[in-house]
Structure 1
Amino acid sequence: MLAELLSGYRAGDPAEAGDVARVAELLRAVDDPWSRSIPLHVTGSALIVHPPTGRVLLRWHERQRAWLQVGGHGDPGETDPVEVALREGREETGLPDLVPWPDAAIVHVVVVPVAAKGDEPAHEHADVRVLLATADPDAARPEKPDAPLRWLTVPEALAATTEANLRETIHRAAEVMARPHTR
């Protein structure tokens, strides 16, 4: 599934092209690229958008001490980054109506370092990102008290995060939201 999605994907810059190449190599090298037992493993995430207002939803991630997109690890047997992003998005925001928007295309691929914590060693996430939309932004509810959610305009979202890779995802989402869509 992921190899098929990546085969038609065009990286936005040389750094992303390198990350896409690493993910493609991972897919060739291991049976389960989603396995948390390997130092580089695939994750699926999404920037949730509300196209009518041009806003994006960010979630506070206590471990990273940052406002980030929703997403995470695949559950056993999951192999579709869009489905992982949808499940994680619903779990983390309570939004039941999330849909890939404007379609299920990958919007960004980035390898991000993850610091060690407890008995979990430092590792990397090969994060495959998509856009998800909701028609009811007011229905968003945090998964837990220490993971608040914030609907932000694109400039507000860019100001809220210092993560260069997420800033790039936000810029890409803004470009997609600026295009005319039939949906």
Structure 2
Amino acid sequence: MTTDPRPARSRTALIHAITDVLAQQTPDAVNITDIVKAAGVSRPTFYQHFADTTALTRAAALEKLTATFAAVDAQNLTPDAEGFTGRFTTALLTELRDDATFYRNVLKTAGDSALISELIGFLSDRLLNHSPFAAGVHSKTTEHESYAEFIAAGMSWSAMRWLCTDFTENNAPEAMAERLTAMVRAAAY
């Protein structure tokens, strides 16, 4: 028995459509009619996947963020805690800066507690399972998952504030990466 690929294709098309819209326009211009037209799907198909444009925007943001982390992971940066973290964070922030219009628009339209909760969960998982600081977080407390969420919440807030800057001087990706790395290092060790 084969699985029907249409649902996955239509969901992907909707995510690509909202991503394109939020990368180019103000969030005020977002409406379901334009999104389904751009995605080449029907309005009922939209509602099979998402309750509203906010849910679609959250899904697109998390998919784009996951892809950004994967792209940086693929750079195979040196895995030592000192050098890796700074290079990884600089590369990640550079990617976020390059897509700043999209992320700023996401925060304006879907920056609710559901998005923040999913973002913190994503970063917490990365911290516990894909970072050189995992051992430090595990050694700090038996509540390592809650502690990782605490650190991820601070990282999220810092990154969201940073996304609204001009990315120059003290707000250049390298400078912000240095500050974030220092904060995570201090929290983990």
The alignment's TM-score, normalised by the length of structure 1, stands at 0.25
Normalized per residue, the structure richer in strand is 1
- Give 1 or 2 for the bigger CA radius of gyration: 2
The alignment's TM-score, normalised by the length of structure 2, stands at 0.24
Normalized per residue, the structure richer in helix is 2
